[in-house]
Copies of this chain bind each other. A is one copy, B any other.
Amino acid sequence: MVATLFAQRMEYIKASEIRELLKITERPEVISFAGGLPAPELFPIRTLAELASRLIIDEGKKALQYSATEGYTPLREKISSRMKKVFHANAAVDEIMITSGSQQALDFIGKVLINPGDEVFMESPSYLGAINAFRAYEPKFVEVETDSCGMIPEALEEALKSAKHPKFIYVVPDFQNPTGRTWSVKRRKALVELAGKYGIIVVEDNPYGELRYEGEMVPAIKALDTEGWVVYLGTFSKTLCPGMRIGWVAANRHLIEKLVLVKQGADLHTSTISQMQINLFIETEDFDAHVQRLRQVYRKRRDAITRAMGRYFPEDSRYNYPEGGLFTWVELPAGIDAAQLLKEALKRDVAFVPGAPFFPCAPRKNTMRLNFSNMPENRIEQGIMRLADTMVSLQ
């Protein structure tokens, strides 16, 4: 087999060197800020075991069978209610499709919307998984100037005006991956206004929104949208567990109809049993109390990492203080290449993800993403100390 057998689009879908580098570091002695894994000790193991068994005994013939592409209706109903309750966002049951993780929703959105060369507007930086999903459909990424409150509306409008084939705006407004930043309400309103003015779809990806550790809940961008421009992506990967791969997309009916057609061709439907199991969990357990437990644990870890960074990091590095989510973001002095730093850090048994690949167009090599959800506080502090030592050694 030779490379010319592959489709053109495979030119844009490349193996990541960083990913390969990090694979070698799954040794237990490595303190890893690299992944985006929720804490497995917070999975409700006993409850899920009991529910799994009960579900199969009581409804196995249905739970193990093929099911509808749109998803399991009782679960879609619960998602609709929760979006309303937590984020004030309106989505009717038939405006919701279940996906195999919200990563799949990103792929389908690319498939339904992107023609080669279409402009996709992204925050600077943005979620790497979205960049990778969209890349398969050969868009032109437009990186919009972004500060700690979100995309700068003037910069976005400028970009929209000069676009040739504007397709959609992709944002992660709550505790963004990779930066941990959250958009202000003002910026959310400005975005919705621009969407209406220019007639452009906004894709709001919100995997972390429920994980707020301080400050007040902010309404989803979808909650501010009266014209149906906002497509909302959610997931149970961070609030319950990622191993079942249950996410969803909420959008206007025209778009959902297309997404359903694409899903029929792509995998028929998402795991019936996993959908029914999560539905049963929400039905029989106190989901709010469960999320509250996650918040308590993650808050302490967020505190531990920001405290340790404040204490040990060199003064010329800057870091973000996230109000929620799983990540913080570090800007190193301009001369330092985080990929180089990673190689040195691995020698000291500490890992992270360099920030450059998160920039769709203009990589900034002196940045890095740190995850804090997957380790106890003492490991976090120790890891930050090691990382600080590495930073100093490079200066």
Which of B52, B61, B272 lies in contact with A53, CB distance below 8 A? B52
Whether A244 lies near B267 (C-beta < 8 A) is no
CB contacts (< 8 Å) of A114 on chain B: these are 7
**Contact (Cβ within 8 A) B103 A135:** no
Query: When chains A and B are docked, how far (Å) is the Cα of A59 from the Cα of B257?
Result: 38
Query: Separation in Å of the A32 CB from the closest CB of chain B?
Result: 13
Q: How far is the CB of A95 from chain B (nearest CB, A)?
A: 12
Write out the residue numbers on chain B whose beta carbons fall within 8 Å of the beta carbon of A258.
Answer: 6, 10, 13
The answer, among B67, B115, B274, for a CB contact under 8 Å with A273, is B274
> Roughly how many angstroms separate A10 CA and B114 CA in the complex, as a whole number?
10
Q: Say yes or no for A359: interface residue by CB 8 A criterion.
A: no
A244 to chain B, nearest CB (A): 6
**Range of interface residues on A (Cβ < 8 Å):** 35 or more
Contacting A7 at CB < 8 Å: which of B112, B132, B237? B112
A326 to B45, CA, bound (A): 38
B129 touches A5 (CB 8 A): no
Residue A164 is within 8 A (CB to CB) of chain B in the complex:
no
A373 to B274, CA, bound (A): 25
Q: Please determine whether A8 and B245 come into contact, CB atoms closer than 8 angstroms.
A: no
Q: Is the CB of A13 within 8 A of B262?
A: yes
Return chain B residues, CB-CB under 8 Å to A60. Answer: 40, 43, 45, 48-49
| Residues of chain B contacted by A273 (CB below 8 angstroms) | 243-244, 274
Give the CA-CA distance A40 to B56 in the complex, in Å. Answer: 12
A385 interface residue (CB < 8 Å to B): no
Contact of A243 among B49, B63, B266 (CB under 8 A): B63
Task: Please indicate which of the listed interface residues A37, A52, A107, A241 has the most CB atoms of chain B within 10 Å of its own CB.
Answer: A52
Bound Cα distance A328, B163 (Å)? 54
CB <8 Å contact, A40 and B64: yes
Q: State A40–B60 Cα separation when bound (angstroms).
A: 8
* A137: interface (CB < 8 Å): yes
Is the pair A271, B257 in contact by a Cβ cutoff of 8 Å?
no
Q: Are A243 and B264 also in contact (CB < 8 A) when A46-B57, A49-B53, A49-B57 are?
A: no
Q: A295 at the A/B interface (Cβ < 8 Å)?
A: no
**Is the beta-carbon distance between A266 and B104 smaller than 8 angstroms?**
yes
Chain A 111-169 interface residues, beta-carbon cutoff 8 Å to B:
111-115, 118, 129, 132-133, 135-137, 167
A270, B267: Cα distance in complex, Å: 11
A267-B100 in contact given A5-B113, A56-B52, A252-B1 (Cβ < 8 Å): yes
Sampled A-B contacts (20; CB under 8 Å): A1-B228, A1-B229, A6-B112, A6-B113, A7-B114, A37-B65, A40-B65, A41-B61, A49-B53, A53-B53, A65-B242, A66-B243, A100-B100, A100-B270, A103-B268, A107-B265, A111-B136, A245-B270, A245-B271, A274-B274
Identify the 6 closest CB pairs spanning chains A and B, nearest first. Answer: A243-B272, A64-B241, A40-B61, A49-B56, A53-B53, A45-B60
